[in-house]
Amino acid sequence: MINRRDFLKNAALASATALTAPSLIRSAYASDPIKVGALYSMTGGLSVVEKLLASGVQMAISEINAAGGVLGRPVEVVVEDGASDPKTFSERASSLIVKDKIQTIFGCHTSASRKAVLPIFERRNAMLFYQTHYEGFECSRNVVYTGAVPNQQLYNYIPWIVKTLGKKKFFLVGSNYVYPREMAKVVKILLEQNGAEWVADEYLELGHSEWAPMVSKIKDSGADVVLSNVVGDSIISFYREYKNQGMSQDTVPICATVTSEIEIAAMGPEYAAGSYTSFPYFMSIDTPANKTFIENFRTFVGDPTAVTYHSLEAAYFQVFLWKQAVEKAGALDPDAIRSAIRGQSYDAPGGKVTIDADNLHCWLTPRIGQWQADGQSKVVNEYPEPIKPLPYAAYGETADNLFCTPNGLDQAKLK
């Protein structure tokens, strides 16, 4: 079992080996280290994914330390284990902030864990960097959101499915919690705008594995496309049953908002070949920066077959955005970071990202990938540039009518 201190010294050790000149080492580590937190599930059902996110944070810090640290000081990571349980996440967040007096924490993966810790961050005025694509409907001065929000996954996706794939009858299926239901709200708005319709909107509990009845329902529905907001292990069961019942991705494709390289590898690529996902980042992005990122990550975790995916990339690049904000502010306190990080940009493995000056969410480039027989995606559609995040898109928020502003949420605009 991995305890909360296992990774405390990793970043400093990694950077020390990278600096070959003793004088450089003395210069880089002349001051006390800056401590940050990494709050992820190192045990429990979510640990397979969240350990990778923790590794993404640690790799970024090791690279920062190798280049001299932050404000001339090395960075140390205190890792806490949320144990795949929202209550434990809350307890560990309190420990990091109150006991360890850490003001910046990278972490959480699910909306449930983020919601569990949010009151602590707001009450103690600490900063959380949250890397997972999520449903929006949140506006906190104490969170920097670097994953996609619904408009960055769906505004390109639904029109493309209708116009390019020629699909008009959507079967919406998701896991039964907030993310799939909020995504479905945006999908329905976009379907109406694009002259399409939804023939069903169905939900099954998280972790559900018996998909035969639902796939049969899809077969009998008359739908010509499935919009999937299914998450977690249920994705694997769903895709396998879909193929087992003879459903063709050519005829009635699954178009997902969650299925990533992680789930494709777990289910076997033959079950997903021909289906689609909308994400800002795919491992298959063919640029030198992304190839270097993949190679470095595989080396860092000691696995030559490790895959990278959207949340992992965001976990990695958000650390550099934090570094830039600290160095711009010349300070480590949350108020200074919050002010300095607005408008910060970074050339991430998937392209340029920018923290929105209004809502602390991230400008990202929407992409659509079609899964191939080798388990990788082929990017079939890509915006020419990053787009503004609109966390309240399901409720009418637009770039000209913002609900989430530097002053907080404008409650009067919520319908």
In this structure, the answer to whether residues 134 and 168 fall within a common structural domain is no
Q: Which residue among 279, 301, 318 closes a domain? A: 279
Q: CA separation (Å) from 124 to 104, 111, 236, 278?
A: 11, 20, 40, 36
Give the distance, in angstroms, between the CA of residue 269 and the centroid of all CA atoms in the same chain: 22
Same domain for 240 and 258, yes or no, is yes
Contact 365, 358 (CB under 8 A): no
28 lies in the same domain as 144: yes
Instruction: Note whether residue 384 is domain-resident.
Output: no
What amino acid is encoded at 183 in this protein?
M
Q: For residues 255 and 234, state if they share a domain.
A: yes
What is the amino acid identity at position 261? Answer: E
Buried b / exposed e along 42-61 (16+ C-beta atoms within 10 A): bbeebbebbbbbbbbbbbbb
Domain co-membership, 14 together with 144: yes
Q: What share of the chain is helix, strand, coil (3-state, %, to 5)?
A: 40, 20, 40
19 and 86 part of one domain? yes
**Which of 279, 311, 334 marks a domain boundary?**
279
CA-nearest of 84, 296, 180, 336 to 188 is 180
Residue 301: per-residue pLDDT: 97
Concatenated DSSP letters of 172-190: EEEESSHHHHHHHHHHHHH
Residues in the chain: 415
Residues 166 and 255 occupy one common structural domain? yes
**Distance (Å, rounded) from C-alpha 359 to C-alpha 138?**
10
Q: What is the pLDDT of residue 31?
A: 79
CB 211 within 8 A of CB 243: no
Q: Do 339 and 313 have their domain in common?
A: yes
Please calculate the CA angle 43-4-102 and round it to the nearest 5 degrees. Answer: 125
Does residue 121 form part of some domain? yes
Residue with tokens 């955005």: 321
**Which residues 6+ apart lie within 8 Å of 13 measured at CB?**
none
The label of the residue with tokens 């920097």 reads: 144
CA distances from 147 to 59, 226, 309, 360, 365 (A): 18, 24, 11, 11, 11
Q: Which two tokens stand for residue 404?
A: 């989430």
Same domain (yes/no): 109, 54: yes
- Nearest CA to 281 out of 304, 269, 297 is that of 297
298 and 239 co-located in one domain: no
**Within this chain, do residues 54 and 180 fall inside the same structural domain, yes or no?**
no
- Report how far apart the first and last C-alpha atoms of the chain are (Å, whole number): 47
Q: Is residue 401 part of a domain?
A: no
CA gap 401, 364 in Å, rounded: 20
Does 374 map to a domain? no
Query: Is 309 found in the same domain as 298?
Result: yes
Q: What is the full per-residue pLDDT of the chain (415 aa) written as tens digits?
A: 344 444 343 433 344 333 333 333 334 345 799 999 999 999 998 888 999 999 999 999 999 999 999 999 999 999 999 999 999 999 999 999 999 999 999 999 999 999 999 999 999 999 999 999 999 999 999 999 999 999 999 999 999 999 999 999 999 999 988 899 999 999 999 999 999 999 999 999 888 889 999 999 999 999 999 999 999 889 999 999 999 999 999 999 999 999 999 999 999 999 999 999 999 999 999 999 999 999 999 999 999 999 999 999 999 999 999 999 999 999 999 999 999 999 999 999 999 999 999 999 999 999 999 999 999 999 999 999 999 999 999 999 999 999 999 989 999 998 6
Cα separation, 311 vs 330, whole angstroms: 28
Residue 415 has a pLDDT of: 65
Is 70 contained in some domain? yes
What CATH number is associated with residue 207?
3.40.50.2300
Beta strands in 246-375 (DSSP E): 254-256, 276-279, 345-348, 351-355, 362-363, 367-371
Residue 394: inside a domain: no
Domain that holds residue 133: 10-148+287-365
Q: What is the pLDDT of residue 324?
A: 98
CA 35 to chain centre: 23
At residue 402, what is the residue type?
L
Residue 108 covered by a domain:
yes
Quick: pLDDT tens for 67-101. 999 999 999 999 999 999 999 999 999 999 999 99
Whether 392 is covered by a domain: the verdict is no
Q: Where are the alpha helices (DSSP H) in 5-75?
A: 10-18, 22-28, 47-66
Which helix H or strand E contains 172, and what residues bound it? strand 169-175
Of the candidates 279, 314, 339, which is a domain's last residue?
A: 279
| Number of structural domains the chain divides into | 2
